[in-house]
Amino acid sequence: MIIKLNARQILMSASASLFCLSACATPPKPEEATTSVVQTPSYLNFADTTENRKNLELAIQEYEQVRKDHGKSITVNGIDMFYLEWGEPGGIPLIWSHGYSSRSFGLMQVGDDLAKAGFHVIALDSRGHGETKVSNYDFSLSHLADDIRAVMDELGMEKAVIGGLSLGGFISTTFYDHYPERTLALVLEDGGSYYVQGHLEKNYHLVKDLDLSYGPNSEKLFPSFFDAFKELIELFQMMWPEEIEASKYAMLASLIVETEEGKFKYRHDGLKLWGDGTKAAFNPAEAHVTPMLHQSWRRVHPLITFRNLHVPMIVIDPIGDHIHLSDQNEKLRQLHPELISVIEYPGAPHSAHQFRPEWLVRDLTNLLEQLEQQK
């Protein structure tokens, strides 16, 4: 199928990973993003076919079964927090945080394997995401770090491996900033290892004159689950290097909920969590008008937070997305080369472990062996 892409569409594809999963994208230069004719795979359009509807039905069943088998809730800091759990309490604790607009089911492909390796896995729905509902959105990354500490207290975990994807990586960095004594090790997957404000300042000239937005649109209502899923998978597909397999559908299905009126929507409120993506989100001078969560994300500075790092750290750097952070990751590694490992995932998109789940299991298993040797 041949389609035409204009400058805005190309830049939207590049910036989708910026806010859909909360990483900082570097879009192409405007002069490079001219209207062009490109060969586009047909799977970018999630067609309304019998096969797709059947696969989605099976995905919903899988999501519901995972929720039944592994879903739990715990009250911390006045909030009923939903989480998924794999493994036994005797395993090495691993607390995982997801990216912006996502939720705990992003770890469902690897939960069982990580438990078999020896981890006790807790994957959280952060405040305002998934089934962890809040009415007060005046919270920051520090509040989310406090939630992790409270979960650990409730579950009797003295220390844990703290990790996450994208925004979850920044939550992990913030947790270490506040609670280094509760941290066994860190896993930062395309987030938490670079200075966001500096990155925005460097690249703002590329996007300041463009009308950009980010998705998914959490205010939109859909007449059916299929319609909501169609928009969501097509958004993710823009960031994916190949056709998204049906095995990933359950994770995406977990992001959609039915309203009391019988409509369907995404499980997060983007405006309350992140703000207006067409304005201040891209402007390095307007962080002050964004919600507190967004403001705190801008202010994370890993080179400062990790100046006295004392635990092992894995930085997962997907080489295949629109985010070019290798230089910043290397600066971080040079602070403590004996503790920090930067592991590249060639060809992987921003959500690297969802594309290469076996690689994450491999790398976390190696980390677990390292921790056991240090006992």
Q: Which two three-digit tokens encode residue 240?
A: 């994916």
341: nearest Cα among 358, 366, 324: 366
Amino acid 213: pLDDT: 61
Q: Could you give the 3-state DSSP secondary structure of residue 84?
A: strand
Question: pLDDT tens per residue, the chain (375 residues)?
Answer: 233 333 333 333 334 334 333 333 333 333 444 444 445 567 789 999 999 999 999 999 999 999 999 999 999 999 999 999 999 999 999 999 999 999 999 999 999 999 999 999 999 999 999 999 999 999 999 999 999 999 999 999 999 999 999 999 999 999 999 999 999 999 999 999 999 999 889 888 887 877 666 667 899 999 999 999 999 999 889 888 899 999 999 999 999 999 999 999 999 999 999 987 656 778 889 888 899 999 999 999 999 999 999 999 999 999 876 667 889 999 999 999 999 999 999 999 999 999 999 999 999 999 999 998 887
CB 234 within 8 A of CB 342: no
Instruction: Identify the H or E element spanning 264.
Output: strand 264-266
Question: How big is the chain, counted in residues?
Answer: 375
CA distance 123 to 189: 14
- The Cβ-side half-sphere exposure at 332, using a 13 Å CA radius, reads 29
- The Cβ-side half-sphere exposure at 178, using a 13 Å CA radius, reads 18
Q: What is the DSSP string of 90-141?
A: TSEEEEEE--TT--GGGGTTTHHHHHHHTEEEEEE--TTBTTB--S-----H
Q: Please state which architecture CATH assigns to domain 1-375.
A: 3-Layer(aba) Sandwich (3.40)
Instruction: Identify the H or E element spanning 86.
Output: strand 79-86
Residue 29 DSSP class: P
Q: Which residues contact 47 (CB under 8 A, 6 or more apart)?
A: none
Which spans in the chain are helix H?
7-20, 50-70, 111-117, 141-155, 167-178, 196-207, 225-237, 249-253, 270-273, 292-298, 302-305, 326-335, 352-355, 357-373
Q: Please name the amino acid found at residue 330.
A: E
Amino acid 25: pLDDT: 35
What's phi and psi for 72, nearest 5 deg?
-145, 170
Amino acid 280: pLDDT: 72
- What are the residue boundaries of the structural domains of the chain, listed by start? 1-375
CA pseudo-torsion sign 129, 135, 140, 143: negative
CA distance 280 to 158: 39
CA pseudo-torsion sign 55, 164, 128, 113: positive
Q: Which two three-digit tokens encode residue 329?
A: 């990751």
- What is the SS3 assignment for 201-242? HHHHHHHCCCCCCCCCCCCCCECCHHHHHHHHHHHHHCCCCC
213: nearest Cα among 144, 270, 138: 270
Amino acid 212: pLDDT: 63
115: nearest Cα among 147, 81, 84: 84
CA distance 39 to 35: 13
The pTM score is 0.90
